[in-house]
Homo-oligomer: A and B are copies of this chain.
Amino acid sequence: MENRKDAPIRQRILQAAGEIFGCRGFKAATVREICRRADANVAAVNYYFGGKEALYREVVRDLIAGTFAKFSVETANPEASAQERLAVFVRATLSRLLSPGGLSGYRGRGQLVARELAEPSPILDTMVEDFIAPTAAVLGGIVSDLLGPAAGPELVMRCQVSVIGQCFHYAMARPVLTRLGLVDYARPEIVAEIADHITRFSLEAMVGLRRRIESEIGRGAGRKRNRRNQQ
């Protein structure tokens, strides 16, 4: 299904490049191997993309853009509760990272993003601006709602990272988690199960934190403990 001989050469190269770059990294990947896998001429990369680096940029951009478009982190219903929106966000984020149609869709591609996140390259700035910042904003809204108005911006940021960090670790540390026997990525339901856990874990944490903040405020400011019911 992939690498169909009748697919346009440009597409075949893009596809092959995603796999090779993901497996080997930018430098270790060779245009020869990419072209061999794409069944294209050695000069095709330069002809269609202008060079190895430009091809790499295109691959990463396509991969992220495609994946982000495929899995939305927002519910269709804007009136949904914060809990529900969190569940959707986590599920979508994990799907982006782990599901077959996502960043790890085919062999090695997930590592491509892992590498890119770990390594500040010029392309990262665009990625952050175009894709990651909007996503972070969505999560920021959810977390803010869950923590309530008493939570300071610092706490909101930290909780954002806590949520997103749990999700990313399953993608970034995949080789380690596999070796430790902590996660079995082969099971098809794994994404849903992990999403459920992260949602529950994070909700429990943030509800608890909110309760604690507000009780402290209540204690500090007097008896306004009826605030608890707002959210």
Give residues in A with beta carbon < 8 Å to B: 24-28, 111, 114-115, 117-120, 124-125, 128, 132-133, 136, 155, 157-162, 164-170, 172-177, 179-180, 182-183, 194, 197-198, 200-202, 204-209, 212
Contacts and interface: CB of A to CB of B under 8 A. Distances in A.
A58 B207 CA distance: 46
A160 B173 CA distance: 13
Copies in the complex: 4
Contact of A132 (B27, B180, B201): B180
Given A115-B115, A118-B118, A118-B173, 6 more contacts: A117-B175, A136-B182, A200-B209, A204-B205, A204-B212, A207-B208
Contacts of A120: 175
A124 B202 CA distance: 30
B119 A158 contact: no
Contact of A197 (B155, B168, B172): B155
Contacts of A111: 118-119
A229 to B, nearest CB: 11
B128 A180 contact: yes
Q: Is the interface of A mostly helix, strand, loop or mixed?
A: helix
24 contacts: A25-B28, A25-B115, A25-B119, A26-B28, A111-B118, A111-B119, A115-B115, A115-B118, A115-B119, A117-B172, A128-B180, A157-B182, A159-B197, A159-B201, A161-B166, A162-B198, A165-B165, A200-B209, A204-B205, A204-B209, A205-B205, A205-B208, A207-B208, A208-B208
